[in-house]
Structure 1
Amino acid sequence: MMPLEPLTNKEEEVMQVIWHLQKAFVKEIVAALPQENHYNTISTIVRNLEDKKYVSYMAYGKTHQYFPLVTKDEYTKRFMNLAMKRFFNNNYKSMVSFFAKEEKISASELREILEIIEKKK
């Protein structure tokens, strides 16, 4: 697996749209974003995503239809692995404890996670 450059928040937001649409022209990406954005700004972001090897395109005359080269699952896995290293020293117990202390995960959700783990054994 080739290392990917990290995405900025805005690039990630645009990737979320591309993953959702599967393939899209810049105008479709602009229309799907939650807040108003200038076409040229989004076009520049998409070209940056192309440079970073997250997307490629099919050319139709002068317009390009973009599609993801990296799946959302693949990106999520890489992002989570990086977060685990950076913030939790690769210790999953520390991560779960963090979310429990922050009250971001309930006891019933933890029981569901335990059931999933038990089923895999």
Structure 2
Amino acid sequence: MEIKELTRAEEQIMQELWKLNKAFVKEIIEEMDEPKPAYNTVSTIIRILETKGFVGHESFGKSHRYFPKISKDDYKEFATGKLLLGYFDNSANNMLSFFLEEKKLNLKDADELLKLLAEAKKKAK
């Protein structure tokens, strides 16, 4: 299945659904930050997410309990790839340099990344 990009509102709801794993609209709203969106707004967005293939549901009479059909890790891979390709010429080096220059990544984080890279290099051998 092809993953599509989420709008900001859709992503907010998916973040809550990924945390909850299964939830009714009311439960999703309870987890959201203030100001909480209207029930109808969340319900509409959930139905859009279902049409896009992100969400499925189980029926309980007239109520529906929703669950993610696409994992957070799968969407993270899609979004990161889109970011890398669209803004950094598909270069992890360009992206890392940007985060360092913009101070979104400190030296401690960079050291941890270097350790991860060294471990990955050992595993690849």
1:5 partnered with 2:12: no
Normalising by the residue count of structure 1, what TM-score does the alignment of the two structures yield?
A: 0.96
List runs of 5+ in structure 2 lacking aligned partners: none
Aligned counterparts, 1:37-76, within 5 A:
37-76=37-76
**Residue identity in the other structure for 2:9:** K
Kindly state the Cα deviation for residue 75 of structure 1 after the two structures are TM-superposed: 0.5
Which 4+ residue blocks in structure 1 deviate beyond 4 angstroms?
none
**In the alignment, what sits opposite 2:24?**
25
Percent identical pairs in the alignment equals 39
Displacement of 1:108: 2.1
Q: CA shift at 1:112, angstroms?
A: 1.0
**2:98 is aligned with 1:98:** yes
Alignment size in residue pairs = 120
Residue 115 of structure 1 corresponds to 115
Shift of 1:5: 1.8
* Deviation digits for residues 93-115 of structure 1 (CA, Å, limit 9, x no counterpart): 00000011101111221111111
Q: TM-score when scaled to structure 2? A: 0.93
**CA RMSD, aligned part only?**
0.8
Letter in 2 for 1:5: K
- In the alignment, what sits opposite 1:88? 88
Uncovered stretches (5+) of structure 1, i.e. residues with no partner: none
